[in-house]
Amino acid sequence: MKSGAQVRILRAADRAATAWKNGGGVTREIAVFPYGAGMDDFVWRASLAEVAADGPFSPFPGIDRTLTLVEGAGMDLTVGGVRRLVDERFAPQEFPGDEQTDCRLLSGPVVNFNVMHRQGAAEVVTAVVRGRLSRAVVSDETLLVLALEGSATVQVGRGPDLALAPYDAVLVMGDFIDYMEISGHVALVCFR
């Protein structure tokens, strides 16, 4: 591994659930920048949200969101008065966090992967992939790899293989991922 590279393994079992104020679900924070930032001062934040009931999403002025349905039938959202059906798993969808957003579950609870970032403070690209990837360059970027379904093996630089079970993640800063073997679906989030 190159000098100065930072790699953090973020295990699903280590995440605490935080109940939403409206009682409609819980969130489990995966990673946040800067490290330890709260809801009022993060530059970016990645989390898994378990939505258990219909209701409004919390507003986040000045924040853009990317939501990826991971488990469940989906949601019928109304974002800023416009209907948006979210019923395809592993398909990232972007929308502004400051628009009023109401949610109606299609058929029971869902789990969403959420990435939020402060407008103008970060560029964020989210993709969901399968199979084998080689040489994902990170250098001056930060890359979050989250196993959404199935497992993944990730090698960073010349380091050891890192095995990810469902909902485990690895955060890579300042290096490159040499390869990934993916048996299910993995979310890749690039932060610049």
* Closest listed residue to residue 9, CA positions, set 167, 121, 135, 180: 167
Tell me which of 1.10.760.10, 1.10.1580.10, 3.30.420.10, 2.60.120.10 is the CATH number of domain 16-118.
Answer: 2.60.120.10
Residues 170-186 pLDDT 10s: 998 876 667 778 888 99
Same fold, 6-10+123-191 and 16-118: yes
pLDDT of residue 135: 61
The pTM of this model reads 0.91
> What is the rounded average pLDDT of the residues 19-24?
76
Q: Any idea where the domains of the chain sit in the sequence?
A: 6-10+123-191, 16-118
Q: Three-state secondary structure along the chain?
A: CCCCCEEEEECHHHCCCEECCCCCEEEEEEEEECCCCCCCCCCEEEEEEEECCCEECCCCCCEEEEEEEEECCCEEEEECCEEEEECCCCCCEEEECCCCEEEEECCCCEEEEEEEEECCCCCEEEEEEEEEEEEEECCCCEEEEEEEECCEEEEECCCCEEEECCCCEEEEECCEEEEEEEEEEEEEEEEC
* CATH topology assigned to domain 6-10+123-191: Jelly Rolls (2.60.120)
Residues 83-137 pLDDT 10s: 999 999 999 999 999 999 999 999 999 999 999 999 999 999 999 998 877 666 5
Q: For 2-6, 30-34, 83-87, 139-143, which range has the lowest pLDDT when averaged over its residues?
A: 2-6
Residues 27-85 pLDDT 10s: 999 999 999 999 899 999 999 999 999 999 988 999 999 999 999 999 999 999 999 99
Are 190 and 141 in contact by the 8 Å Cβ rule? The answer is yes
Band (148; pLDDT cuts 50, 70, 90): very high
Instruction: Collect all residues with Cβ–Cβ distance below 8 Å to 70 and sequence separation of at least 6.
Output: 48, 89, 90, 110, 111, 112, 113, 148, 149
